[in-house]
Amino acid sequence: MSPEPNVTRREVTLTEVSTIVIDPENADALYRIGEKYPAGVNVQLSPGEFVFEKTVFLPSNTSIVGSGKEKTRLVLAPGSHCHLFTNIDHQRGNSNLSLSGFSVEGHGDTQERQGHHKALTFCCAIYMKKTRDVRVEDVDFHDIRQTATHFNGSSTITVRNCTMRKLGWSGVSTSDASNMLVDVTISNAGRDTMHSGIHLDGGVGVLCRADVSDTTGNGVMLDSSYSPLRNVVVEGRASNCKRGLSLSGSAVKVLETVMISGTFVNNAEVGIMVSNARGVVLTRCNVSGNGQIGVLFQGRSGGRDCIVHDSTISSNPEDIKELHASGGNWVFTGDVTADATCPVNARSLSFYTASR
């Protein structure tokens, strides 16, 4: 896998802010940090179990650092029906936020949507709106009622070295998030209804490295319903999901310029689906053992002007299929070496299927 891109690297220096240490018996002090430290604060959490019954609001220039995932455990109390963390100003936004070094237990089966909350975001572990320069690192999320981390209208985001298990909706989801690095392991997602392990909706510039398994919906879903989505790289593995990877473009907002590599195997329906998207490159992919189709191009606008390169697509009932308005797609495989100037037009797939 490629190294972390420079675009997401940054040095955030929190100047002129206090550093405080909070013990489990004083967990309530976190509720007051926005009021007491409006300019920001560095919070160090001692080892132990911290129990919360309401949301912690984070001002700009704030870090929450635990003593390690195995030592610091944050618990959303049963029946709390709320997010654990969110930024304090959803209107003007916040910046320079960091959360790391702890585990979260969400008691998801006991949390319910309250009447004043939207269905989309009512009980996440971390919910950020209009934020920039946000880092979530070395956190273990378990039994979250909705989504472990959701970002709305945000940019310059890192979610890295996190595990996310037993999720009502997703591990990572976005509504227009740009300049983003995701590097996570997700399992048992979409328990509420059918949802994807990762759902990225709109933005520019995302590197997504993921290992997703045992999810009721897509392992990874890219879509442009909320806003256009472009310039995305997906690397990793998706298995035992409904679909491994789904690109689902909007009829009016583009989904384009995506590069995919990795392993997409043993999914119930499709390994990789490209629907209403263009300029997608599949390279060094293993797409095999899926229940219906390996790679599917489809949709009213179709999957168009895509490339499949140096990939193993085999042992699926149908390896590659085009439907609806799909076309202009090309397949280059290791079998096509006699004349490098002669590409394989995948519109009919005849040459490709004959070469297998």
Which residues of the chain, if any, have pLDDT below 50? 1-2, 7-14, 334-356
Q: For position 120, what pLDDT does the model report?
A: 62
Using CA atoms, how far apart are residues 184 and 58, in angstroms rounded to an integer? Answer: 23
Q: For position 122, what pLDDT does the model report?
A: 79
- The closest alpha carbon to 178, from 209, 196, 161, 202, belongs to 202
CATH dotted code for 196-356: 2.160.20.70
Q: Which amino acid is at 75?
A: V
3-class SS string, the chain: CCCCCHHHCCCCCCCCCEEEEECHHHHHHHHHHHHHCCCCEEEEECCEEEEECCCEEECCCEEEECCCCCCEEEEECCCCCCCCEEECCCCCCEEEEEEEEEEEECCHHHCCCCCCCCCCCCCCCEEEECEEEEEEEEEEEEEECCCCEEEEEEEEEEEEEEEEEEECCCCEEEEEEEEEEEEEEEECCCCCCCCCCEEEECEEEEEEEEEEEEEEEEEEEEECCCCCEEEEEEEEEEEEEEEEEEEECCCCCCEEEEEEEEEEECCCCEEEEEEEEEEEEEEEEEEECCCCEEEEEEEEEEEECCEEECCEEECCCEEEEECCCCECCEEECCCCCCCCCCCEECCCCHHHHHHC
Cβ neighbours of residue 232 closer than 8 Å, sequence gap 6 or more: 200, 205, 206, 207, 208, 222, 257, 258, 259
Q: Where are the domains of the chain?
A: 14-141, 196-356
First to last CA, the chain: 27
Residue 13: partners with Cβ closer than 8 Å, 6 or more residues away: none
Q: Which of 202, 217, 353, 214 is nearest to 273 (CA)?
A: 217
pLDDT at position 335 is: 39
pLDDT number for residue 193: 86
Q: Which residues contact 330 (CB under 8 A, 6 or more apart)?
A: 306, 307, 308, 343, 344, 345, 346
Res 325: pLDDT: 94
